[in-house]
């Protein structure tokens, strides 16, 4: 019965094409998608303005979701909240994508957070760190990812905001809902630490670019407020960003096949990306920078 009560909240309309949404916790837009599991005793997840020793503010002022807005996390605690998203139907390879910013302040390994995901309404859960994921710092520098062999991500202490990106491959006929489960665990040793804070959650279905036998690549998030991430299975000769007038604003030769670009200084608007691959293929994409 508990599973039915939880997932009845996550029924969404389905649409085709690219789907991406934001949760800032500062307004009611999409906040209905967040459900704190009140069936758990002593669940300490709270939405609001943090006033703690380390967590003195959220990333986008004033609110975030925090393991208690005021107090250190207690011992022997398990706290959970769910994020429910809608599904889309593509005719090509695609995946469910999740971005969010976070700080962690807890006893390394003994206390930790984890993110799990389900595509069948909770019958099967996968730990996100066993799927594709990456972490970037506040400047867009790559920290670690699924290719590093790391398994526990949300533990220890981060001094600055980190951005987590995870993905779940989906079939071309997938039209159901994706649900993410965020869990924080503590052991029986009091540490007087702040726990876990999360803000600016972004999610959606992302379409991988597959054109005949041409290179496979992805550029995300789109739209974006700050960074974009580029991934490719093929070697890149050059990567450039232009404005609507065709003026070149960013250019790099022979970059890595996996990198991020900081767009915080770009004005809101539409920008164009041109990627040249060493097999001669040229890809053109459009991205949107929002406030």
Q: Which of 170, 7, 185, 166 is nearest to 82 (CA)?
A: 7
pLDDT digits (tens, 9 = 90+) for 35-61: 999 999 899 999 999 999 999 999 999
Give the number of other Cβ atoms within 10 Å of residue 8's Cβ: 9
Give the number of other Cβ atoms within 10 Å of residue 229's Cβ: 21
Region at 114 (left for phi over 0; alpha for psi -120 to 50; beta for the rest): beta
Which has more pLDDT, 124 or 8? 124
- C-alpha 105/C-alpha 120 separation (Å) is 32
Question: Is the pLDDT reported for residue 10 higher than 80?
Answer: no
Give the predicted TM-score (pTM) of the model. 0.76
- C-alpha 208/C-alpha 27 separation (Å) is 31
pLDDT at 102: 97
DSSP 24-38: -SSSSTTGGGEEE-T
Question: Is the pLDDT reported for residue 209 higher than 70?
Answer: no
Residue ranges of the chain that CATH labels 2.60.40.1220: 217-289
Level-2 CATH architecture, domain 217-289: Sandwich (2.60)
Give the number of other Cβ atoms within 10 Å of residue 151's Cβ: 10
pLDDT at 279: 80
pLDDT digits (tens, 9 = 90+) for 11-41: 444 333 344 578 999 988 889 999 999 999 8
pLDDT at 8: 42
pLDDT at 88: 53
Judged by average pLDDT, the poorest of 50-54, 138-142, 192-196, 252-256 is 138-142
pLDDT digits (tens, 9 = 90+) for 110-132: 999 999 998 888 889 999 888 88
Question: Is the pLDDT reported for residue 89 higher than 70?
Answer: no
Superfamily of domain covering 2-207: Galactose-binding domain-like (2.60.120.260)
Which has more pLDDT, 209 or 161? 161
For residues 85 and 180, the answer to whether their CB atoms sit within 8 Å is yes
Average pLDDT over residues 206-223: 63
């Amino acid at each position: 019965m508990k599973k039915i009560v939880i997932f009845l909240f996550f029924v969404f309309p389905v649409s085709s094409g690219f789907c991406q949404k934001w949760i800032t916790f500062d307004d009611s837009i999409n906040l209905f998608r967040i459900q704190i599991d009140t069936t758990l005793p002593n669940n300490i997840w709270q939405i609001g303005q943090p006033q703690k020793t380390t967590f003195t503010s959220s990333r986008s002022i004033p609110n975030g979701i925090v393991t208690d807005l005021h107090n250190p996390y207690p011992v022997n605690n398990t706290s959970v909240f769910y994020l429910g998203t809608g599904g889309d139907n593509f005719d090509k390879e695609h995946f469910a994508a999740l971005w969010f910013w976070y700080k962690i302040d807890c006893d390394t390994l003994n206390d930790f957070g984890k993110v799990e995901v389900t595509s069948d309404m909770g019958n099967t859960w996968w730990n996100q760190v066993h799927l594709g994921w990456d972490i970037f710092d506040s400047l867009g520098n790559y920290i670690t990812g699924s290719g590093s062999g790391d398994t526990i991500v949300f533990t220890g202490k981060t001094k600055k905001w980190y951005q987590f990106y995870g993905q779940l491959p989906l079939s071309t006929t997938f039209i159901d809902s994706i649900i993410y489960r965020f869990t924080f665990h503590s052991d029986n040793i009091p540490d007087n630490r702040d726990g876990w804070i999360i803000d600016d959650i972004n999610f959606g279905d992302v379409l991988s670019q597959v054109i005949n036998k041409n290179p496979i690549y992805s550029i995300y998030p789109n739209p974006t407020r700050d960074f974009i991430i580029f991934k490719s299975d093929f070697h890149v000769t050059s990567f450039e960003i232009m404005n609507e007038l065709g003026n070149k604003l960013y250019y790099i030769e022979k970059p890595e096949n996996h990198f991020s670009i900081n767009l915080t200084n770009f004005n809101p608007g539409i920008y164009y990306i041109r990627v040249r691959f060493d097999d001669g293929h040229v890809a053109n994409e459009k991205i949107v920078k929002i406030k």
